[in-house]
Amino acid sequence: MPFIQLEHLNLHYEEQLKGDTPIILLHGNFGSWHYWQPFLQNLPDGYRGYAPDFRGCGDSDVTDTGYDIHTLSQDILAFAEQLKLNKFHLVGHSLGGAVAQELAGTIPDRILTLTLVAPAPAEGMPLLKNTSTSDGFFSAQNTFQFLGAIGLKRRVLSAAIKKTMPGLSNHQHYLDLAVDDALKMDIKAFNGFLAALKKWNGSHLLKNFSFPVLIMHGELDSVVPLQPLKTMQQQIKDCRFHTFRHIGHSPQLEHPKAFNKLLSAFLQGNEVASLTDISFKKPLNLFNQLKLKLKRIFE
């Protein structure tokens, strides 16, 4: 369990070393390095994979501030500096996709490729603007405390995660990891990330993307809409786009075999268009199963 001491926090990360070419993998909100565990376990030869935990997540330190996208990107830059990673592939999921865009647009000469997995769109996430980050009765902090007090926090989070990532119904181990990560994340990080995503806009960064870019999207993603990502593709000079059929917000966990194949091909400079038919069979009656489980929770 390695750590790197940055200026304001002790940052945890996991690594897999099978060569010289670095890959930095950035997780999303409610997550940790666990979201990259299937990829690290099947890392292609020739690469060194690094998966850090953002501040307030996983085993990294909790800080009072610093959860904005710019500061998070500077944390990762400092992380790369300490590991002496001059040039590297960069992969970001969801919130980590916004951080990856911020970092890549700031230091484009050091980025070999950029992969954005169900990322926060460069134009921002206007759907979050009506979400409260105040200290009111229905704030995230009070809601989590209430659910914890009545013993429903884990069950509600599990149901929510299965709704946004329906493919996890076939991967109980990864579902358990995702729920554990969500429970472990500090409330300061939750509030900070939400506030950051409400106001972040990275549209001005796209013109700096002088490297190959791959955007991945799940057909059933209820978190990130498709159209803003397609708009990003049109604004990036060298950008490929892949949609996973019957997959939600986290293809790296919902269908790791297909995800690993696609990402490995892109990193190695191989054509990814031939992989567009990668999919898996959608679980039967998934929506009805979810409704039944939610009904049981609140009965």
Predicted confidence (pLDDT) per residue in 90-103, tens digit = 999 999 999 999 99
- In angstroms, the CA 75 to CA 35 distance is 19
Which carries the bigger pLDDT value, residue 157 or residue 277?
Answer: 157
- Please give the share of the chain, as a percent, with pLDDT higher than 70: 83
- In angstroms, the CA 74 to CA 70 distance is 6
Q: What is the pLDDT of residue 140?
A: 56
Other CB atoms within 10 A of residue 5 CB: 11
pLDDT tens for each residue of 243-256: 999 999 999 999 99
Beta bridge partners of 91: 25, 115
Torsion of CA 260, 263, 267, 273, to 10 degrees: 130
pLDDT tens for each residue of 99-155: 999 999 999 999 999 999 999 999 998 777 666 555 554 455 555 554 555 456 788
Place of tokens 């039944």: 292
Domains of the chain: 3-129+186-280 (3.40.50.1820)
> Are the beta carbons of 190 and 216 closer than 8 angstroms?
no
Element (H or E) spanning 276, and its range?
none
pTM for this structure? 0.88
